[in-house]
Amino acid sequence: MTMLTKRILWVIAESSIYAWLGIAAAWWSLPAGFLEPGGGGPYSFARRWDGTCGGWDHSLVLLHTVGNVLTFWAYVILCMAVVRLHPIMRRIPSSKITVPAVSLVFLSCGMTHALAAYTNFNPIYVFDGWFRLAAGIIGIAGAVFVCHNLICAFGMVVKDRKRLAELERRLSPEGG
């Protein structure tokens, strides 16, 4: 087994531990009706698990919950892989910001799925909606950083290729 394979497996194992600890901590610490105003007020939603939300039964809730938890797990693995394995290009000044920004994008996307799984049992739709809005803003900011760095990197590649072509021309017997 190569050193790179070992690093990749370690990142997957480490992120899996973080993901499952995060799910367990959030699942058992958030109370029913978390951040929902006035139990019987305008935000009193039916619960999917109880079957009071039209058309939802236990098998459908479990299908959605397992799917969302697995998606959360995948996003945490992606987040940790970017943090632990991505080389930061020192020639691009903002790349030190971009790697954490992309990691935050993955983590916030994963958290939307973790909240969706929790929402199947406790209808926190208002908080879930605000969190999805925040995750969308984080995603757009991450996309801007990535686009900026790609443009910078491509510009550097073009300059390096021109410089290399000039050096090759000077070093060749016909060009020098």
* DSSP letters for 130-168: HHHHHHHHHHHHHHHHHHHHHHHHHHHHHHHHHHHHHHH
> What's the pLDDT score for residue 37?
44
Q: What's the residue count for the chain?
A: 176
pTM of the model: 0.73
Q: What is the pLDDT of residue 69?
A: 92
* Rounded CA separation 23/43 (Å): 25
Q: What integer pLDDT is reported at residue 24 of this predicted model?
A: 77
pLDDT band (50, 70, 90) for residue 40: very low
**Residue of 138, 77, 150 whose CA lies nearest to 102:** 138
Checking if the pLDDT of 35 tops 60, the result is no
**DSSP sequence for 70-85:** HHHHHHHHHHHHHHHH
pLDDT score of 63 more than 70: yes
- Rounded to whole angstroms, how far apart are CA atoms 126 and 123? 9
Q: What is the pLDDT at residue 146?
A: 83
Which tokens in the block code for residue 38?
């006035």
86-101 tens-digit pLDDT? 776 666 666 677 788 8
Which of these, 82, 105, 73, lies nearest to 8 by C-alpha position?
82
Q: Grade residue 33 by pLDDT with cuts at 50, 70 and 90.
A: low
Q: How many CA atoms lie within 13 Å of 83's alpha carbon, on the beta-carbon side?
A: 18
**Looking at the predicted structure, is the pLDDT value of residue 73 above 70?**
yes
Are the C-beta atoms of 109 and 135 separated by less than 8 Å? yes
Q: Mean pLDDT in the chain?
A: 81
Confidence tier at 105 by pLDDT (50, 70, 90): very high
Distance CA 108, CA 175 (A): 55
Position 31 scores a pLDDT of 60
C-alpha closest to that of 57 among 48, 65, 66: 48
103 pLDDT more than 80 = yes
pLDDT tops 70 at residue 53: yes
Of 33-42, 46-55, 64-73, 149-158, the one with minimum mean pLDDT is 33-42
